[in-house]
Amino acid sequence: MRTFGLIGYPLAHSFSKKFFTEKFQEEGIAGHQYELFPIENIAAVVSLIAADDSLSGLNVTIPHKVGVMAYLNELDPAAQTIGAVNCIAIQHQDGKTWLKGYNTDAYGFQESLRPYLKKNHTHALILGDGGAAKAVKYVLDQLQLTYLSVVRSPAPDAILYSELTAEILQQYQVIINTTPLGTFPNIEAAPAIPYEWITDQHLAYDLVYNPEETEFLKRAKAKGAAIKNGFEMLQLQAERSWFIWNP
């Protein structure tokens, strides 16, 4: 028996459990299970892992992507640079446990974004500067795209939504929403950007995937922009986790 799971709090709904349960069934993988482990205090991860020798890997979601790093033995370069972990490989050997952290969000985002980039897409606006934006910045650095963060409150190396101009939108033709605005059930919400300056040269990417087409994407699409939601990113990061757990 090999057990995998997701830690976070709360865990009312989990894409990961559905994804891996269906994967095990479709591929005829016997002796595997994927469980939800809602832990409010990240320190509980120690006793969780110690109590189950079958536990072979964990995905990590909010609010523990940063806090869990203090309990790991090793980080892969991407997780180290980003400063956040969403996948843990667990090895049990000779009575000892070794925990290595990865960031598969970056992989998922990069592989889902890359096919949509055109020659004019050299500058990107990142809407929001929370945890999700860390992986986005890492990927944009890898792809050599210049980026600018847009935030609600004054912050270093960022501008306010109210400071966006036509000139900025003309230069920054990739717009990435890393905020939860527009997520079900609050589907009418959208980042407060000047949509009137979006054109058919723009690419709008929303990390939100429920609903499939957020208000942000609808407004950008109405201006002729190419659009992409975060569902493929979610699938790709999950597949990457499976690859890590089964080298």
d(CA 190, CA 179): 9
- In this structure, are 16 and 132 located in the same domain? no
Candidates 31, 220, 223; CA nearest to 125 is 220
Q: How many CA atoms lie less than 13 Å away from 244 in the CB half-sphere?
A: 26
Is 134 found in the same domain as 45?
no
- Count up the domains in the chain and report the number: 2
Tell me the catalytic residues. 65
Q: Which of 102, 123, 152 is the last residue of a domain?
A: 102
Domain-located, residue 241: no
Q: Are residues 131 and 202 in the same domain?
A: yes
Does 146 map to a domain? yes
Q: Which residues pair with 160 in a beta bridge?
A: 151
In a domain, 154, yes or no: yes
Q: What is the pLDDT of residues 90-132, one digit of tens each?
A: 998 888 999 999 999 999 999 999 999 999 999 999 999 988 8
Number of neighbouring beta carbons within 10 Å of residue 152: 15
Domain-located, residue 247: no
**Residue 227 sits in a domain of what CATH number?**
3.40.50.720
Q: Is 246 a member of any domain?
A: no
Arithmetic mean of pLDDT, 68-93 = 96
Residue 117 shares a structural domain with residue 49: no
- Residue 59 lies in domain: 2-102
Q: Mean pLDDT across the chain, nearest whole number? A: 96
Looking at the fold, whether 209 and 225 belong to one and the same domain comes out as: yes
Average pLDDT of 20-37? Answer: 96
The strand pair at 96-102 and 87-93 is best described as antiparallel
Helix (H) or strand (E) holding 170: helix 166-171
Contacts of 212 (CB under 8 A, 6+ apart): 229, 231
Query: What's the pLDDT at 94?
Result: 86
Domain boundary among 53, 77, 102: 102
Q: Write out pLDDT tens, residues 224-241.
A: 999 999 999 999 999 999
Portion of the chain with pLDDT greater than 70, in percent = 100
Please indicate, yes or no, whether residues 47 and 143 belong to a single structural domain of this protein. Answer: no
Residue range 41-69, pLDDT digits in tens: 999 999 999 999 999 999 999 899 999 99
Distance CA 55, CA 44 (A): 15
